[in-house]
Structure 1
Amino acid sequence: MLFKKLNPLEKIYLKNTNKEAYQNYKYQLKVNDLPSINFLDTPKALVDFKHSGHLGDIIYAIPAMYALAESGKVNLHLNIGQKIKVDGNHPLKDIGLNEKSVEMLAPLLALQNKFSPINIYNNQVIDYDLDVFRQFPFDYSKGHISRWYFNCFAVSYDLSKPWLVVPKDTSMSDKIVIARSTRYNSPVIDYSILKKYNNLVFIGLQEEFRLMKAIIPNLEYAEVNNFLEMASIIAGAKLFIGNQSFPYAIAEALKTPRMLESYYKCPNVIPEGANGFEFSFQPQFEFLVKKLVAKPL
């Protein structure tokens, strides 16, 4: 498509005479500078990917990796120590991944048949740089993270089906498992209503647990050594409740019976498939908990 850049006077005139056309022009400017993606012409037995985090983004990128790898295996190189602009309070501040993240994630992905062992990126030759999705002009405050990758890399995948498989922790079969990061907390949701239940388990950071324990005194903490253990707890749960965080990404990938606390400023996570519910308001939250805990899932 032929695109002509406007000079300063033309831009001022367009901005003041046709606001919609001016917005379209600014969008075209961004699209005009997008990185090119070199798609594989023929399938490979081992397809190399690079990702710089965050952990949740990696989980949501897996369907695109599967689609791009086709019948081959995914060879994932994780780029640690890279700065990423974030809104809100993230555990790694402005860093996407560190060595501990990779160490914790490795057992979970090693269990997936489509993955070769993950490794740290050190200028290896790669086929697809998954970080380029951050250069595309999406509205990152809304939509669906997995589908941003689909849009970038021209693929599709059935997100209603599980894309992670782990053994279930059978000791969790009657438990409500909760994860709530300090990022993306809705101001109108009160988790204290859960204290009437006596089968509550929290997964996540100690500081996150401390905050939740203050409003749910009977909450128990499940400490994990890696994210495979975390995923097994989520997979075995009667019900998982979480906000837009890494544990919820795992629950979504597993299709565990799950409830998502949707954050009104940034609703960019969407449950898909069976037993996936979302809530933004307290009455609906309370209704769903009552309904889903009483119902065999």
Structure 2
Amino acid sequence: MLFKKLNSLEKLYLKNTNKEAYQNYKYQLKVNDLPSINFLDTPKALVDFKHSGHLGDIIYAIPAMYALAENGKINLHLNIGQRIKVDGNHPLKDIGLNEKSVAMLEPLLALQNQFQQIDIFKNQAIDYDLDIFRQFTFDHTKGHISRWYFNCFAVSYDLSKPWLVVPKNTSMSDKIVIARSTRYNSPMIDYSVLKKYNNLVFVGLSEEFKLMKAIIPNLEYARVSNFLEMASIIAGAKLFIGNQSFPYAIAEALKTPRMLESYYKCPNVIPEGANGFEFSFQPQFELLIKKLIAQL
């Protein structure tokens, strides 16, 4: 459809006579300036992707990578040091990725059968720039991160099935594993109700652990040297409880029995598939804990 830009008088008239049409026109202006994507005409044996983070965004991009690569292998080039606008607290402030985060992520992705190489982006030739989703007109505070990629790249994937596979840490089989970043904390949720349980393990940053330890004195801390170790702990857990954070993204990708603390200002993560639950209110949080611990 040919898009016609309006002059100042035409815009003013439209604004005053048809507000809905005016809002649609403003949206069309944004869409008209979206970047184009060069889709592969035929499948390749090896498909190169670029991503600049955040870590959770990378995990949620994997289904789109699988769909775009089809049966081909994947090279993922991670672009460090790129500034990304964030709201709230983030461990890397306004930086998406650094060398340490790439080094910690590499063992987890390298274990996945379809990934051939994970490295730092140094202007390698790429087939798909996954960062492009940030330029599209989604409301990034709502929806489903994985599906933003589907919408950009015209693909789909069954999100009810696991898209990461790791060996389970069997020592976690009776543990409730918890992760809560300082970003996306719901003011309606009180985790101190968990202190009645004796099998609690925390994964995440040491600073995050200290905050949770003050609320749950019997909480233990699982130190990891890379994200494969973290994923193995989450995979082996009886139950995972977390907010919208990187550890939850791993739990979702693994389909571990999981509870998501949904943040009311930015509900852009949705559990899909078996054993995925979400909570926004304290009574439902406490009820889910009781039900799932009894069932699992």
TM-score (norm 2): 0.99
Q: Residue 281 of structure 1: CA displacement?
A: 0.3
Cα deviation, residue 262, structure 1: 0.2
Give the alignment of 1:112-127 within 5 angstroms: 112-127=112-127
> Which residue does the alignment assign to 2:202?
202
State the alpha-carbon separation in 1 of the partners of residues 83 and 11 from structure 2. 33
Instruction: Provide the residue aligned with 1:97 in structure 2.
Output: 97
The whole-number CA distance in structure 2 between the counterparts of 1:117 and 1:240 is 29
**Are 1:168 and 2:168 counterparts?**
yes
What SS class does the counterpart of residue 76 from structure 1 fall into?
A: strand
Alignment deviations for residues 147-180 of structure 1 (CA, whole Å, 9 cap, x no partner): 0000000000000000000000000000000000
Q: Does 1:229 align with 2:229?
A: yes
1:248 Cα offset (Å)? 0.2
Deviation at 1:9, TM superposition (A): 2.1
Match of 2:248 in 1: 248
Aligned to 2:257: 257
Q: Which residue of 2 aligns with 1:139?
A: 139
Does 1:185 find its partner at 2:159?
Answer: no
Q: Distance in 2 between matches of 1:93 and 1:239?
A: 30
Tell me the SS of whatever aligns to 2:274. Answer: coil
Number of residue pairs aligned between Structure 1 and Structure 2:
296
Q: CA deviation at 1:11?
A: 1.6
Q: Structure 1: any 5+ residue segments left out of the alignment?
A: none
Unaligned runs of 5+ in 2: none
Residue by residue, what CA displacement relative to the aligned partner does 1:214-268 show, whole Å, maximum 9, x if unpaired? 1100000000000000000000000000000000000000000000000000000
Cα deviation 1:58-106 (Å, max 9, x = unaligned): 0000000000000101110000000000111110000000000100000
Residue type of the alignment partner of 1:205: L
Amino acid at match of 1:282: Q
Residue 117 of structure 1 and its aligned partner are, at CA, apart by 2.1
Alpha-carbon separation, structure 1, partners of 2:18 and 2:107: 55
CA–CA distance in 1 between the matches of 2:35 and 2:246?
Answer: 28
Question: Which letter maps to 1:35?
Answer: P
Flag as ranges the 4+ runs of structure 1 deviating above 2 A: none
Question: Per-residue CA shift, 1:38-62, capped at 9, x if unaligned?
Answer: 1111111110000000000000000
Rounded to whole Å, the distance in 1 between the matches of 2:94 and 2:135 is 17
Alpha-carbon distance between aligned partners in 1 of 2:69 and 2:117, rounded to the nearest angstrom = 15
1:1-297 aligned at under 5 Å gives the runs 1-296=1-296
Q: SS of the residue aligned with 2:201?
A: strand
Q: d(CA) in 2 for partners of 1:187 and 1:12?
A: 42
Secondary structure of the residue aligned to 2:97 is: coil
Alpha-carbon distance between aligned partners in 2 of 1:124 and 1:281, rounded to the nearest angstrom: 46
Q: What's the secondary structure of 1:75's corresponding residue? A: strand
Structure 1 distance, partners of 2:269, 2:246, is 11
CA distance in 2, matches of 1:289, 1:22: 48
The offset of 1:16, in angstroms, is 2.1
